[in-house]
Structure 1
Amino acid sequence: MQIILANSSKEPIYEQIMNQIKSSILSGDLKDGAALPSMRQLAKDLHISVITTKRAYEELEKAGFIYSIVGKGSFVAEQNLEVIRERKLTAIEDQLSAVILNSKEIGLSLDELQQLLKILYEE
């Protein structure tokens, strides 16, 4: 598992770690039951505080992506991909509703909005 941190990012380091692990799980790169590096090992590899890796792992556990066993480590939880897909679709719908509202406020037509979306999607 490779995690790349961007010091220039506005996103906190723990979120960068969390999002990259989450992406690896959702893409299937990390399979159900796969062991994650220990919090200490990950902190050492990334040259960051253990507190930061602990927070990332705690957030992933709260969201149901991983589970931890005291003395054994953290592991990828079994994922219900359909439930995750539905959550993502709901988030996309919410974001698109905001985009549509902003577009209407500035008089952007549906065709212009579709062109913009197509350009951004293909990047």
Structure 2
Amino acid sequence: MKILISNSSEKPIYEQITTQIKSMIISGELMPESSLPSMRLLAKELRISVITTKRAYTDLERDGFIETVPGKGSFVAKKNTELIREQQLRLAEEHLQKAVDAAKSFGIGKQELMEMLEIIYEGE
């Protein structure tokens, strides 16, 4: 599992870890029931505090992405399709919001933006 940490990011490190693991789960890179590195191992590999990896794993478990079995480790939760779908929709909305904000700042109208989206979506 490859996680990249940016010290220049505005996001806290635990949030960077959480976001990247969620992305790997949503994309299918991490399959249901596959094991995650232990908190200590991940902390050692990333050269960060175990407290930081614990926070990331706690957030992932709270959000239903992983399950932790005492004495055995943490595993990707069996996919909850509704949860995954909501995460995918939220991610798409975030990207669309950025596109809308950029379009507004460049003076691109709603109709023109809709036409661009349609062209991109249809792959023409």
Q: TM-score range by the shorter chain?
A: 0.7 to 0.9
* 1:21 aligned partner, one-letter code: I
Helix, strand or coil: the match of 1:75? strand
Helix, strand or coil: the match of 2:16? helix
Aligned to 1:16: 16
Aligned residues: 121
Distance, in Å, in 1 between the alignment partners of 2:113 and 2:23 is: 28
Shift of 1:27: 1.1
Q: For structure 2, list consecutive stretches of 5 or more residues without a partner in the other structure.
A: none
Shift of 1:111: 3.8
> 1:111–1:83: structure 2 CA closer, same or farther, 3 Å change rule?
same
Distance, in Å, in 2 between the alignment partners of 1:95 and 1:23 is: 14
Distance, in Å, in 1 between the alignment partners of 2:100 and 2:4 is: 34
Distance, in Å, in 2 between the alignment partners of 1:3 and 1:105 is: 33
Q: Normalising by the residue count of structure 2, what TM-score does the alignment of the two structures yield?
A: 0.76
* 1:31 aligned partner, one-letter code: M
Aligned to 1:113: 113
Structure 1 vs Structure 2 CA RMSD: 3.3
Helix, strand or coil: the match of 2:24? helix
| Contact 2:18-2:59 within 8 A present in 1 as well | yes
Percent identity, please. 54
